[in-house]
Amino acid sequence: MGLNEENELEKVYIGGEAIVKIYRDRVEKIRKKKKYRIDELDEAIRKYRTKHEAKILSIARKAGVPTPIVLDVREDTIIMEKIEGTPLKDIINKSLSRKVGELVAKLHDANIIHGDITPLNLILKDNKIYFVDFGLSFIEDRIEPKGVDIHVYFESLKASFDNWKELKEAFIDGYKKYKKWKEVLERVKEIEGRGRYIERKEKKSFNVSSL
């Protein structure tokens, strides 16, 4: 692997926390130094998260969820296999959304909270759906973060697809493979009802006088 051959670089994404460089044959995720943090803290965070994400990628794969293979981990960089396929956002349908539900059931059964499930982060290749970004993931056995995890997915469906309702139903179908599905979905409903997620209130808070 010619790791320094910049001409192989195809795309760069700059996120809030990391830079993702997509090469012809691999993906590099680099957690760059943040100047606002003091060095001791900054190094500890970047090292920990890099190691942690690489670990979760492999735990998820062991749990039966397709993820890119980690080729190398350095202090602040994960080098992983490039998944060449189609982002789910371009092709999502009921059967794919059901499959996402089944895979999230597997993640949650392994107590992996993905943290950012959207059709943008999922790639279909050889009839398998790959979860490629575990940058916000953590391990937790409580119901609440699992509910938030699913809520994030539903919100992303709502924002991008007109048929979000059937995609949501299909996901729920697939998710029923997780033994605590009922509890989690009840929590999702509760989260939807919380103030921060209310888009539009039926009742106005104030009187609007005729202008």
- Catalytic residues, by residue number, are 116
Residue 36 lies near other proteins (rule: CB under 8 A):
yes
Residue entry with tokens 């993905």? 114
Whether the CB-CB separation of 99 and 111 falls below 8 Å is answered with no
Query: 62, 127, 193, 195: which one contacts other proteins (CB under 8 A)?
Result: 195
Closest to 147 (Cα-Cα) out of 181, 123, 109, 122: 181
Segment 126 to 145, residues that bind other proteins, using CB under 8 A: 136, 138, 145
Residue 202 lies near other proteins (rule: CB under 8 A):
no
Residue 208 lies near other proteins (rule: CB under 8 A):
yes
CA dihedral 134, 139, 142, 144 (to 10 degrees): -20
Q: Applying CB under 8 A, what is the total number of residues that bind other proteins?
A: 35
Residue 198 lies near other proteins (rule: CB under 8 A):
yes
Query: 38, 90, 162, 193: which one contacts other proteins (CB under 8 A)?
Result: 38
Indicate the residue type of 127. Answer: N
CA dihedral 159, 162, 166, 172 (to 10 degrees): -10
Q: How far apart are the first and last CA of the chain?
A: 68
Whether the CB-CB separation of 82 and 68 falls below 8 Å is answered with yes
Looking at the Cβ atoms of 6 and 39, the one nearer to other proteins is 39
Residue 207 beta carbon to other proteins: minimum distance, rounded to whole angstroms: 5
- The region of 14-22, 50-58, 75-83, 102-110 touching other proteins under the rule CB under 8 A is 14-22
> Residue 94: exposed, middle, or buried by beta-carbon count in 10 A (0-12, 13-18, 19+)?
middle
Looking at the Cβ atoms of 127 and 211, the one nearer to other proteins is 211
Contact residues toward other proteins (CB under 8 A) are: 14-17, 34-38, 40-42, 44-45, 115-116, 136, 138, 145, 148, 152, 195-196, 198-201, 204-211
